[in-house]
Amino acid sequence: MIFFPAIDIKEGKCIRLKKGLLKDIKFYNKNPIEQAKEFEKIGCSWIHVVDIDGAFLGSPINHKIIFEIKKHTRCKIQVGGGIRDFETIQKFLNNSVDRVILGTIAEKDPNFVKKACNLFPNRIVVGIDTKNEKIAIEGWSKTSEKTIYDSAKMYEDIGVTRAVFTDINKDGLLQGLNFFQIKKLLKSTKMKIIASGGVSSLDDLKKLKDLNFKNLEGVISGKAIYEKKFLVKEALEVLC
């Protein structure tokens, strides 16, 4: 399994939120590029990057910093946050970003996702973000009537091969992953799933690995590593 350390960027700095709410913001590092280099030095092969400003405003704001992260590390990166048109996807991929994550636009316009998957094979990821099993969009500020399982089936049918699953009610709270929903989602789809939201300890990572699903590709962790609940090196050792 792949361990994806998270870098959430707001106003050019590394931050973490609770349940995706801007009122619960905490700044951790003024320099996301240095943070990425540190993750690379420890041994990470991938980094999960989110443009928080972009997610709320609907178009990337911190893209120049993200491009610099890619220039200054050998890590592969997947990027989400406000990516909602082909021009933006192309801009990220042209700047060597390895994968882009589509959230709001994926839920609103499945045909867009289908075209994107055809144009950019293996480089499109959808974000399956949930509040009480309903899909959340627009920086997690709104929910649709679809369940995450309905959306997963739809995405698989139109050619999506990979999704990031996040339980928003767990995100940033250090209370553990929603293993019930993760298992249910893994059973419902053949897509590769990256789990996120609530990682709190090495035991969470061990339990996740012990699920032993072939389509469980990895896990994202942010607050737990910034709050030093465990070391990134330890996480890599557990999951390898």
Number of domains in the chain: 1
Q: Range of 197's domain?
A: 2-239
In angstroms, the first-to-last Cα distance of the chain is 6
> At 120, which CATH number?
3.20.20.70
- Is 109 among the residues known to form the active site? no
- Candidate list 8, 51, 53, 171, residue with the active-site label: 8
- Candidate list 129, 167, 171, 204, residue with the active-site label: 129
- Is 171 among the residues known to form the active site? no
pLDDT tens sequence across 35-92:
999 999 999 999 999 999 998 888 899 999 999 999 999 999 999 999 999 999 999 9
pLDDT, position 209: 96
pLDDT tens sequence across 139-196:
566 677 778 999 999 999 999 999 999 988 876 667 889 999 999 999 999 999 999 9
